[in-house]
Chains A and B, each alone.
Chain A
């Protein structure tokens, strides 16, 4: 078993990237991603990691370099946030379409304007439909484990898709947490070398990302979406294998005191840990409350959600992103679709909160619970969602 040490989550993430023995890191610094990339540059510079570190001139180049590196059959890592993700957007889509298993850590930060360096999920939701596998991490340990898991899944012959690990900016990236490191032989047992199915090589020339005329484009998109949907079985077995090696078992969604609960909170990312404390407090007050934490975002875990929601009467969905002019946050919109035509149709109250790092405390979640119960009692269809804690109501 590896040693357990206290370390900033960004640094332990970089150490996990080192243990994954990546061949190339191409990145451009942006808060709050910076410490991850800085530490990787140190590891390369002092000889601890034998990889190319390419300090590119922009995020567009960071993802372009990662695409090229992956296309020749090397293991590529990159990392960004917010505006950086926007700048690389074009290539983010192309990497997925070309089936290049790049792994990226996205230190979640809000999209401008107004300019904010702080945390919410508006960046990742802007590329929700880009075709990458997307997971959320709850804590530093999950970040570490999911770097290794990321390459294991992305490079699987049945998957061959890029993967994003979402970690909350500052709330996770800049916090010192105890993280249990893997031994290098555990990593080598878990993560085989990357063996590409095809690659750019002069001995056997191929054209990647060529023109797709209307007669082939739709087929190409189905050929991309089907393996993403089917990757869930590879994802689950990669989690199982991870658990067998290091003793931590992950699943597409994680539940906490949810089995008999009338009301379920649903969260993504680091809020899960706060809400689990809220659940304990509300349970102590005699309230029937539980929690579902969404870890796997794409492919969306439809069956797991239907099963976990079960006979619950009320859902309180916490979103940290806005679909402007839409019916609420992205998570709530998906959950309403998941439960459409189900026998049990729970009340869904959607709160959008914690934008740009505004603190959401245990008391705030308790207030949301109260507010949701009031809405349910009225039996009226109110707004599809509510911005929590906004002045000037």
Chain B
């Protein structure tokens, strides 16, 4: 694996700090913006997928059992999923330091 952008010295940047590899926003960990994270209570979950549809970052994925979980690498903790869940199965929990 080559260096991440965090490790590059100024001489190693492309001309004008241009990005030459398409799709590298995948590598950007937006999860560290988060102050609260969604926790799903699968006992209340009816597998409707409303959270999956409403997540503005497409950070929620369906598990093999048909439940829904947030990918915490990308989840910014906005709480829209918890707000939209029809059975109140999602609780926003403070991130610990």
Contact = CB atoms under 8 A, between A and B. Distances in A.
A113 interface: no
Contacts of B5: 215-216
Interface stretch (B10-18, B55-63, B67-75): B10-18
Contact of B20 (A98, A198, A212): A198
Given A223-B10, A223-B11, A226-B10, A216 B17 contact: yes
A47 interface: no
Interface stretch (A184-192, A202-210, A340-348): A202-210
Given A215-B5, A216-B5, A206 B19 contact: yes
B6 interface: yes
Contacts of A222: 10
A160 interface: yes
A268 B28 CA distance: 48
B8 interface: yes
A78 B19 CA distance: 27
A115 interface: no
Interface residues of B, number: 15
Interface string B41-68: 0000000000000000000000000000
Nearest to A217: B17
A277 interface: no
A100 B18 CA distance: 12
Interface of B: 5-6, 8-11, 13-20, 22
26 contacts: A97-B16, A97-B17, A98-B18, A99-B16, A198-B15, A198-B16, A198-B18, A205-B22, A206-B18, A207-B18, A207-B19, A207-B22, A208-B16, A209-B18, A210-B17, A210-B18, A212-B17, A216-B6, A216-B13, A219-B9, A219-B10, A219-B13, A220-B17, A222-B10, A223-B11, A223-B13
Interface of A: 97-100, 160, 197-198, 205-210, 212, 215-216, 219-220, 222-224, 226
**Top 10 A-B pairs, shortest CB-CB distance:** A99-B16, A207-B19, A219-B10, A220-B17, A222-B10, A98-B16, A223-B10, A223-B13, A215-B6, A210-B19
